[in-house]
Structure 1
Amino acid sequence: MRDEELYEGIDDTQSLTQKYLGLSLTKFLMLLIVVLASGVYIGILLYGTNSLEVLLGLQDYEEYLQSEINRLRTQNAELQKEYFELKEISAK
């Protein structure tokens, strides 16, 4: 009789997730799905082909801008030289 009284006080209706995590099985599965989906999404953002394509595109654009800067500097130097030559001629 004593053992039966002890077992009556124990609640066997709780699932494992309720016992150890305090969550119902459905809430635990929903949380697990959200965490896995978030992990996959962040992984694709960081390491996916799209981010690699963007990085390579930005590197190409940076090279283009550097060459454009050099071209414009050269053109500016030539135009300034021409301007000062014309200014010297008109001053005489």
Structure 2
Amino acid sequence: LVAIIFAPLAAILIKMAISRSREYIADETGGKISGNPEGLASALEKMERYSQGGQPMQVNEAAAHMFILNPLSREGMAKLFSSHPPTAERIKRLRQVK
């Protein structure tokens, strides 16, 4: 009975962790292929600044993974279950790509 209750929650957390790690891998690969990881980091910074100015978009949660930046609320529990890693961490990792 306990497994029936907690297994779906565990599956969601694992899915989100995998999604975040794939974002990091995609960023690193993009930085290496382009030969300009600093340019990609700069673009992420600009998009993040722009997205901070308004309200979160009205997006179906099932489609949120298709966005470059998280289009959903970045507060409270929403952060915990986000499929996107924090943009600041993505930028930091891009700047470490050689």
Normalised TM-score (structure 2): 0.34
If asked which structure has higher relative contact order (CA below 8 Å, sep 6+), I would say 2
Greater fraction of residues in helix: 1
Q: What TM-score do the two structures reach when normalised by structure 1?
A: 0.36
Flag the structure with larger Rg: 1
